[in-house]
Amino acid sequence: MPQLHVTWLTAGIVAAVLIGLGALVSTQLRRGEVGQAIRECGIVLGLFGLWMFVGHLVGHHPAGGYARGAEIWRLEKSLHIADEASLQRPLLAHHALLSAANYYYAYAHWFSVDVVLAWLWLRHRTHYLQTRRALVLFTGSCLLLHLISTAPPRLLHQTGVVDAASALGQSVYADSPGISDHLSAMPSIHVGWALLFAMAAWRAGGPIARGLASAHAVLTAYVVVVTGNHFWLDGIVAAVLAATAVAVAARVRRPVADATMAALPLRPDKSAA
């Protein structure tokens, strides 16, 4: 599967440059809207670089990851929710659908970040601020937990779950150790981002936005399981963290900065889109 190979250091440097350039454009060129947009791109890219850096650390310090994955499997069995293999099994006979699931797992989460944040920035500036704040809080908390390596079900023989992407030669992990790490499975950032954006759509959007975001969240939860990349509990923990991040982001406000960004005149904030 094609991958864009960017190191965490490159992403971090570019993010710092964009944040600095945004400040320069805002203060020196008096282009507040453009400068803020550049700065926001730098913040999101910085999260991407931080994610890769954590994957790099975990990839080089995997101790205990397989044992922790096995503990999650045993906990799921005790809760009677360890049905990942049963859910995956019907899809294994349909390679086109399995291939589509692998592609969705590899790319949809980044595409959703771009689309949802751009939509909120252009149409719902106040909601953008809260969502971006929640995105930073949620992603940061996940990365702290990812420092504790945990194996996904596809790497544990006792689960009976097939590594769907490797079986079709589509793995995003096969040729990128330390960039996309095998043992950063708990919690699922894919599921958390999808739920976070669904919550943003329900706050800011109309029926179409709500329907698309909700469908993306449900499909993401399904895809991460049937591809063998996550346990149900990975998604459940991510959902709790995402809801907590949204709640905290709603309470943490920076009145001057928020009012300044919300007042930028590209497009007026609208209640439904």
CB atoms within 10 A of CB 101: 25
**pLDDT of 236 over the 60 cut:** yes
| Confidence band for 167, pLDDT divided at 50, 70 and 90 | confident
Residue 241 is predicted with a pLDDT of 97
CB atoms within 10 A of CB 205: 24
pLDDT digit string, tens, across residues 34-85: 777 787 777 777 777 776 676 666 555 566 889 999 999 999 999 999 999 9
The percentage of residues in the chain with a pLDDT greater than 90, rounded to a whole number, is 50
Closest CA to 109 of 225, 192, 1: 192
Q: Show the CA angle centred on residue 128, arms to residues 122 and 133, nearest 5°.
A: 150
Radius of gyration of the chain (CA): 19
Let me know: does 92 contact 162? Beta carbons within 8 Å.
yes
